[in-house]
Amino acid sequence: MVLFFYNLALLSILVAGAPWWLWKMASTHKYREGMAERLGSVSRVKSQIKDDRGQPILWLHAVSVGEVLAVSRLVGELDRAFPEFRLLISTTTRTGQDLARQRFGADRVFYCPLDLPWAVRAYLNALQPRILILAETEFWPNLLSGCFRRSIPVAVVNARISDRSWPRYQLLKGLWRPILGRIGRVLAQSETDAQRLRALGCRHDRVTVAGNLKFDIRAAAEADATRLLKTLTYGLRLVVAGSTLDGEEATLLGAWPRLLDADPNLAMVLAPRHPERFAAVAALLAQSGVPWIKRSDWHSQPETSIPPISPGQIVLLDTIGELASVYSLAAVAFVGGSVVAAGGHNPLEPAQFGVPIVMGPHYVNFRAITEDLLARGALRIAPREGLGSTLIDLLQNSAAAEAMGERARQVFDQQAGATGRCVEALRELLQAPGAEECPS
């Protein structure tokens, strides 16, 4: 009955929002790509699995870029642990799709269907997965119910309920309790996440704290941007500002003259979080009067003809998937989404390289990680008006910055191991048919 009312509400929303969606599809490529797949077209998925020699399917769903990055090592470990299976990965967003194709190969990546009964049914019939693995908390009632009807076990890895989403989940507890109670295994990031998931209806004996998969992610290969920047910035010190949001680039540009006064031998790499903002940030840089260049311009030039980066110049990193590696070059890193009230982004990417990290006061989406780093003196928090001063302090106090970066690396290394725990839990679930069923 709950599912009936959910589908009724979903249908009403789709009908009411149809004009807006049609307009967005007509005006932007973002919403047009993959729409047929999202609505239930399985032709591309069938072509992907036709030559798999009958291997059973493991389906892993990672919503967007952050989740794809989080499961990157897990995908490789699952390939090694279960060679008899074919692992396929779905995403929801276009940017997640692009990154997943780069990381895992286009022949096993597809768009997740919208949570419409006929679309979900088409994919479950085509894939007949032995298990569905969800990254973080991508709960969709029709997808989960469809798996349960077919006795397909469901597992959640890197599970979390953020402070921001927790009140919304509580309001809809009546919807979630009968669904979440049938999930086979939930591997939570922290004890707080585990407690919240149990309160929403996950069975207590099926929820364990496995840790955060992002502590296991290391830049496996040097990105092309990193290799080029090593040469082009020889003799310079780099400030790397990653995952920035609207308003943060302007703050950094406002502080940039002060940073150059403190150290004229600086350059900056500026990496906006969302690709759809690359053009807007480029326009902001063009208006600023600061010398700058787009990383994407290097694609069309022979490497020997690319001019070196000048002191004071800014590189706009308008590519996907290179930021984590570029952090390795930073004298100091700013992790964005944190000066504005957006919940912050992942400070572990620079931490793995022993880079001193600065964030703003808004880090609710990465509270456990950030507070762990703060407790160890491995990260500094700066409000908008103090961002420039904090960066300058770290740039001028090299010994303190180096020690701070080393503490960040230690935190990263000590927290590793979630990937192995997830693999073992998934192995147990695959070997225990019927684990997704409700208790009698």
Nearest Cα to Cα of residue 50 among 110, 126, 102, 120: 126
Average pLDDT of 240-267?
A: 97
Q: Catalogue the active-site residues.
A: 67
CA distance 125 to 49: 13
Judged against a pLDDT cut of 50, whether residue 62 lies above it is answered with yes
pLDDT beyond 90 at 3: no
- pLDDT at residue number 1: 63
| Upper half-sphere CA count for residue 49 (Cβ side, 13 Å) | 23
Among 204-218, 277-291, 382-396, which stretch is predicted with the lowest mean pLDDT?
204-218
262 burial type by CB count under 10 A (0-12 exposed, 13-18 middle, 19+ buried) = middle
Q: Return the higher-pLDDT residue of 22 and 192.
A: 192
Residues 6+ apart with CB under 8 A from 57: 49, 85, 86, 87, 88, 127, 128, 129, 130
> Which secondary structure element, helix H or strand E, spans residue 143, and what is its range?
helix 141-149
284: nearest Cα among 273, 295, 270, 297: 270
Confidence of residue 440 (pLDDT cuts 50, 70, 90): very low
Report all structural domains of the chain as residue ranges with CATH numbers, in order of start.
Answer: 28-211+417-430 (3.40.50.11720), 224-414 (3.40.50.2000)
3-state secondary structure 34-69: CHHHHCCCCHHHHHHHCCCCCCCEEEEECCCHHHHH
Q: Are 24 and 31 contacting, i.e. CB atoms less than 8 angstroms apart?
A: yes
Per-residue 3-state assignment (H helix, E strand, C coil) for 303-344: HHHCCCCCCCCEEECCCCCCHHHHHHHEEEEEECCCCCCCCC
For 91, residues 6+ apart whose C-beta sits below 8 A from its C-beta are 61, 62, 63, 64, 67, 68, 97, 100, 109, 111, 112
Output the pLDDT for position 164. Answer: 84
Mean predicted lDDT score pLDDT of the chain: 91
User: What is the pLDDT averaged over residues 250-277?
Assistant: 97
The HSE-up count of residue 160 (CA atoms within 13 Å, CB side) is 19
pLDDT of residue 434 exceeding 80, the answer is no
pLDDT of residue 433: 60
For 83, residues 6+ apart whose C-beta sits below 8 A from its C-beta are none
**Predicted confidence (pLDDT) at residue 424 exceeds the cutoff of 50:** yes
Question: How many angstroms separate the CA atoms of 360 and 247, rounded?
Answer: 12
- Predicted confidence at residue 332, as pLDDT, reads 98
Contact status, residue 166 vs residue 402, Cβ threshold 8 Å: no
* pLDDT tier for residue 227 given thresholds of 50, 70 and 90: very high
For residue 190 the two structure tokens come to 């922290």
Mean pLDDT across 130-144: 94
Q: Does 86 have pLDDT greater than 50? A: yes
Single pTM value for the model: 0.78
pLDDT for 26 equals 63
Residue bearing tokens 């693999």: 423
Q: Would the pLDDT of 435 be above 50? A: no
pLDDT higher than threshold 70 for residue 439: no
Q: How confident is the model at residue 29 (pLDDT cuts 50, 70, 90)?
A: low
Q: State the Cα–Cα distance between residues 407 and 71, nearest whole angstrom.
A: 25
User: What are the angstrom distances between the C-alpha of 409 and each of 108, 297, 340, 348, 363?
Assistant: 33, 33, 26, 9, 19
| pLDDT of 175 | 83
Neighbour-count burial of 404, counting CB atoms closer than 10 A to its CB (0-12 exposed, 13-18 middle, 19+ buried):
buried
pLDDT at 432: 78
Does the pLDDT at position 235 exceed 90?
yes
Kindly state the average pLDDT of the residues 217-227.
84
Beta pairing, strands 207-209 & 237-244: unpaired
Q: What pLDDT was estimated at residue 154?
A: 97
Amino acid at 195: Q
Question: Is the CB of residue 206 less than 8 Å from the CB of residue 183?
Answer: yes
Say which residue, 200 or 25, is predicted with more confidence: 200
Percentage of residues in the chain having pLDDT higher than 70: 93
User: Quick one: pLDDT at residue 7?
Assistant: 73
Return the axis-axis angle of helices 278-288 and 248-262, rounded to nearest 10°: 40
pLDDT for the residue 436 = 43
Nearest Cα residue to 430 out of 242, 152, 167, 162 = 152
Task: Give dist(CA 338, CA 346) in Å, integer.
Answer: 10
Q: How confident is the model over 388-416, as a mean pLDDT?
A: 95
